[in-house]
């Protein structure tokens, strides 16, 4: 991703109104806990070597200033990690400050997550990682629909336009068919969980009703009902209650 690409993304991010470029000490730059992307130690070490060979970080990071005076990353996690690695292991070749675009703080958590997805769309991802990110995006999609309904916004680059699969595919830079496949797998799994929970709630309610009616312990499962009794007299009492034995 080139510096031009970063500027282009800044113009469409949630904090695009004001962005200034300056060097910031790496001790003041913090990783974003909402960032779903990860890097292995091996990848960071290899990238740190590349930075040493190329003379350091050329492409600016993107950060915003939080309420505690900390610069929080929106773009550049791998560059920051690699620079930290060099500072510890190769201090003579390390940078102590990094060029950063400072943008406005995203409006809310939902917009911050979308900024993170936008700035990381260039990353290569496995299908397993894509599915994980789709699962993270689905509640964001629903949140944006609700936000759009409340604010009646138009022209917001984050507001969902078109089908769910089209919106998800665009966020992850994947094909719509692949996005649809992941969505069906995730939502189908949730539907099965909800159905199982509903059946269990029905069993529990039935158990409660039978225990109140029979005045004894009852266990209801998928294939059987177990009714407890303490003696032959107790069994006869239960049979009388259910109408199987005359008083």
pTM: 0.64
Q: Residue 246's CB: how many other CB atoms inside 10 A?
A: 6
Q: What is the pLDDT along the chain (247 residues), one digit of tens a residue?
A: 545 455 566 665 555 556 899 999 999 999 999 998 888 999 999 999 999 999 999 999 999 999 999 999 999 999 999 999 999 999 999 999 999 999 999 988 888 998 998 888 878 888 988 898 999 899 888 888 877 766 655 555 556 656 888 989 988 889 999 999 999 998 886 555 666 777 788 888 888 888 888 998 888 888 889 998 888 888 899 888 888 888 6
| 57 in Cβ contact with 3 (< 8 Å) | no
- For 226-235, give one letter per residue: b (16+ CB within 10 A) or e: eeeeeeeeee
Which tokens hold the place of 183? 């969505």
Q: What is the pLDDT of residue 4?
A: 45
């Amino acid at each position: 991703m080139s510096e031009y690409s970063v500027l282009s993304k800044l113009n469409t991010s949630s904090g695009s109104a004001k962005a200034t470029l300056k060097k910031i000490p790496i001790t003041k730059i913090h990783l974003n806990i909402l960032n779903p992307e990860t890097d292995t130690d091996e990848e960071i070490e290899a990238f740190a070597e590349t930075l040493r060979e190329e003379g350091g970080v050329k492409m600016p990071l993107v950060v915003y200033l939080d309420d505690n005076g900390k610069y929080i990353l929106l773009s550049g996690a791998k560059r920051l990690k690699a620079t930290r690695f060099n500072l510890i292991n190769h201090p003579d070749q390390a940078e102590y400050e990094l060029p950063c675009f400072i943008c406005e703080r995203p409006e809310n958590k939902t917009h911050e997550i979308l900024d993170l997805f936008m700035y990381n769309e260039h990353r290569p991802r496995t299908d397993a990682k894509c599915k994980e990110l789709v699962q993270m995006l689905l509640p964001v999609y629903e949140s944006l629909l609700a936000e759009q309904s409340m604010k009646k916004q138009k022209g917001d680059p984050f507001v969902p336009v078109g089908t769910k699969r089209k919106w998800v595919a665009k966020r992850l830079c994947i094909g719509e068919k692949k996005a649809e496949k992941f969505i069906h797998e995730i939502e189908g799994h949730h539907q099965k969980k909800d159905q199982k929970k509903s059946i269990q709630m029905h069993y529990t309610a039935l158990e409660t009703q039978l225990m109140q009616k029979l005045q004894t312990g009852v266990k209801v499962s998928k294939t059987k009902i177990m009714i407890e009794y303490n003696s032959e007299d107790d069994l006869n009492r239960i049979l009388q209650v259910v109408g199987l034995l005359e008083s």
